[in-house]
Structure 1
Amino acid sequence: MSNWITVCEFPLQQDLSALAAFIQRHQLPLRISEENNRQRVASLAPQLVEPMQQLLARWQAGEVDLAQLTVHVYEEAPAQPQQEDTVSADAEVTAGSGVEEKTPETSAAGEPSQQMPHSVIPQWPLRQTPVSLLLIALCFLGWFLLRQGWIEGLVIFPQQEGDFDISRSSLAWHLGQGEFWRLWTPAIVHFSLPHALFNSLGIWIVGRSLEARAGSAWFALLVLLSAPVSNLAQYFWSPQILFGGMSGVVYALIGAAFVIQRWQPQWRDVPSSLIWMAVVWLLVCMLGVVDYFIPGGIANAAHIGGFAAGLLLGVLFCVAGGGQRYFAGHAANAAEPGQVHKTF
């Protein structure tokens, strides 16, 4: 049984970005979800329901501006609460927690204060992100299969040396045998435990936030479309090299998150600094510097292909209206034949 208690509901078309920013800014135990064509505000703390109902009623009436309010959460009820400044003037605070408003001009000490935006990665329930959890499991499964020498049926065989002819390529041979799954399965193969860990971390941080808000169906479509794009990009760039890894998919997630954050600037489930760091890492890898430190090198073409696929799919998703679910709170290096590229 869910522990979330409904505070109030709003029409689907109403913009709740200010409310969502207010919730995230103060890390309140509240969430906004879409249920039965309504936007539902719910709380995990029963003692906040009535105060928040009164606050939101005043907000809807235009009496308060959520952007101009700060919240104080205390362990015990204050001895002398200021009735005119509290969210609920006559509501009794129970269970050792409460909410109090302060004006933005002064802090508790009477000095000017600034509300600095910050990012908090939500702790999504596991049941909301089944596809992400499956991808993480596949990363470690691929590493295990490699250690057992059981990956021949998953990878695209490297091309023999000589002029590349797609009609005579190893990829054409696979497809001619009806082995179409090889367009996806190289993403499962991981060449080391850190390789699997890094990609799993990217899925855990970026993927779960994308999936929890947009739904598993769209998230699965993003993965299923971006995986063959990244794998084919790497194969056509360096057909003589064996490659594998989930980072092409991870970069598709990063590309989609990059677009969504441009579309919905208030959305900060994934810190924007983390997205930019991933983009900088992509550029550093393209320079070839990392290849001197990581045996086997980096499959840069897979990263670029996945990132481009994520950007495109992210734009299409937002244009189709999916961006509304994310309001705040709702070239590869040459290598010798036979070398292995890891997609970090």
Structure 2
Amino acid sequence: MSNWITVCEFPLQQDLSALAEFIQRHQLPLRISEENNHQRVASLAPQLVQPMQQLLARWQAGEVDLAQLSVHVYEETPARTENPVSTAGAGTEMGGEPRDNGEQGAEGEATAAESKAAPVAHSVIPQWPLQQTPVCLCLIALCFIGWLLLRQGWIESLVIFPQQTGDFELSRSSLAWHLSRGEFWRLWTPAIVHFSLPHALFNSLGIWIVGRSLEARAGSGWFLLLVLLSAPVSNLAQYFWSPQNLFGGMSGVVYALIGAAFVIQRWQPEWRDVPASLLWLAAIWLLVCMLGVVDYFIDGGIANAAHIGGFAAGLLLGLLFSAAGGARRYFSACGADSADNA
């Protein structure tokens, strides 16, 4: 009969390298195994189960960084039952039964004072293995490839030609001319073109921060579908808004990722791979750009319609994905919920 007691379960695609390093560093009686399509954390010490569940729940929420925690092991004496493990700097006790004498209060106060004095470094955004996010890596590469193609003057086959000034008529538009020639790829390829190196860098940063967590948890298939649907929506929105202007960039796709992440966080509040404050900051930046203030500082202006179109597409696709049960891939299986989801 096995003496291992389940502490917590995680999805297979979640990176537990930080937890494994924490267990090895402090020689804790814990192990990580793969069972029933989950990663199972189990303990040989019953008194560690509840404290570890609380600690891992805080780790999942991004409140603590396991690399910054230290573990204290107290020697057991016949006179009293000691707390076997406690964490300093996290404000969390990981112990067994309370002590019978007054020393518990004195040492508890000392531990509490130490936890207040020692700052804890929080690591919110997970460091996903590169092989789990191939689509994001390809998108980042395309951002810089598009910038290089622009510098070489090789973007004519990628963009939608600007419409001539005058009354706009779809049947006689440059877009209709492209489609009549079978150049349907132009609905997607303007997202590749970037007009400056900072333009490519900022879009790559958005994909790295927001996109990789979306792809790693939900899978590359759904993530690729999100990109392929949001890119033409954002490009067409920008074209119909200002057909006389040449446009390009992956900002519309980035805002689709932000919209999808925004919905998933509302649906699954425990998921905090992407800080909620960052998503709200992106939404505020969208509103600031719409006011036209940024146009005075950036040559060529901002493709606001592409941002709005991408954001709306991300909201809708994120809603459909979550309603179909996809948001469960972003759950935290620690604590009591792990029994219900196992």
Corresponding position: 1:185 with 2:189 = yes
State how far apart, in whole Å, the 2-side matches of 1:304 and 1:293 are: 20
Residues 34, 276 of structure 1: alpha-carbon distance in 2 compared, 3 angstrom cutoff: farther
**Structure (1 or 2) with the larger CA radius of gyration:** 2
Deviation readout 1:77-118 (Å, 9 max, x if unpaired): 646379653369xxxxxxxxxx96169x96644459799996
User: How is 1:71-110 mapped onto 2 (pairs within 5 angstroms)?
Assistant: 73-74=69-70, 78=73, 80=75, 84-86=82-84, 101=94, 108-110=110-112
State how far apart, in whole Å, the 2-side matches of 1:267 and 1:68 are: 12
State how far apart, in whole Å, the 2-side matches of 1:308 and 1:28 are: 41
Deviation readout 1:198-247 (Å, 9 max, x if unpaired): 00000000000100000000000000000000000000000000000000
Corresponding position: 1:55 with 2:48 = yes
Match of 2:317 in 1: 313
State how far apart, in whole Å, the 2-side matches of 1:24 and 1:211 are: 20
Secondary structure in 2 aligned to 1:268?
Answer: coil
Taking structure 1 as the reference length, the TM-score comes to 0.73
Q: How many pairs does the alignment contain?
A: 292
Match of 2:37 in 1: 38
Residue identity in the other structure for 1:80:
E
Report the aligned-residue RMSD. 4.0
Corresponding position: 1:283 with 2:287 = yes
Residues 68, 208 of structure 1: alpha-carbon distance in 2 compared, 3 angstrom cutoff: closer
Residues 162, 326 of structure 1: alpha-carbon distance in 2 compared, 3 angstrom cutoff: same
Shift of 1:41: 3.1
Residue identity in the other structure for 1:257:
A
Q: Which is helix-richer, 1 or 2?
A: 2
Shift of 1:284: 0.2
Aligned match of 2:307 in 291, 303, 321?
A: 303
State how far apart, in whole Å, the 1-side matches of 2:159 and 2:180 are: 15
State how far apart, in whole Å, the 2-side matches of 1:52 and 1:205 are: 37
Deviation readout 1:247-268 (Å, 9 max, x if unpaired): 0000000000000110111111
Residues 289, 29 of structure 1: alpha-carbon distance in 2 compared, 3 angstrom cutoff: farther
Equivalent residues of 1:10, 1:38 under 8 A apart: no
Secondary structure in 1 aligned to 2:124?
Answer: coil
Shift of 1:177: 0.4
State how far apart, in whole Å, the 1-side matches of 2:303 and 2:239 are: 9
Residues 261, 164 of structure 1: alpha-carbon distance in 2 compared, 3 angstrom cutoff: same
Residues 158, 288 of structure 1: alpha-carbon distance in 2 compared, 3 angstrom cutoff: same
Shift of 1:74: 2.4
Taking structure 2 as the reference length, the TM-score comes to 0.73
Match of 1:266 in 2: 270
User: How is 1:209-224 mapped onto 2 (pairs within 5 angstroms)?
Assistant: 209-224=213-228
Residues 190, 7 of structure 1: alpha-carbon distance in 2 compared, 3 angstrom cutoff: farther
Residues 295, 328 of structure 1: alpha-carbon distance in 2 compared, 3 angstrom cutoff: farther
Shift of 1:120: 0.6
Residues 180, 74 of structure 1: alpha-carbon distance in 2 compared, 3 angstrom cutoff: same
